[in-house]
Structure 1
């Protein structure tokens, strides 16, 4: 069971409803924890498989909705920094690091998207208002 699934299960047992906003906040929290763990520990992350499973599950669900993404691209779910809605941001893992501006599909506000790619995998990701 992934860390994400364990925390989601704990939240449900505590009476929280797992809305899109709650799941988005959980994803953001786990991304911060992963980022801080990577900064403080040069060894491989023992939860790396859990992260990959979580990203793969999200990616599979989003790919159904985002068929127009490039064949070599993927999408990454975020909470829009402007409206808070959960949206999918297209990412390209076949290239180099990216620094781009994409519009929110809900509120149309610009979002600065920055990510790095290592060995065809997402190494870091950030999304902030422009």
Structure 2
């Protein structure tokens, strides 16, 4: 046993270096855009954030989708720096919600096919009512056809 082996028993070398790479994320933001100039300013603000791979703007839905290795808060602040009122995308697709007409979920201002993302719209999938909703469905090949 050498001197270095003897010292290595007392010293423990661990790497304290953490990975600085952010996970790949898709960030959706709701921004009201009226013209091509607004759209261009929002798109340029999103592209200025480091790590952005693609930016998609849908002016009709007032929606901006940013994909890349970014932090959602940084993207939101960058869009807000243009002077536009921006918030995270508050809607979920209509088909993912069990109770789309819950009092807080249904929103007339929501784009077609979307409802607000609120806990009242979702429910536990283990409830027995889930089986009743698909029992008479046309998509279910084993459904009872009483008609």
Q: Which has the larger share of strand?
A: 1
Q: Which has the larger share of helix?
A: 1
Asked if Structure 1 and Structure 2 have the same fold, meaning a TM-score greater than 0.5 normalized by the shorter chain, the answer is no
- Measured against the shorter chain, the TM-score band is under 0.3
Q: TM-score, normalization: structure 2? A: 0.25
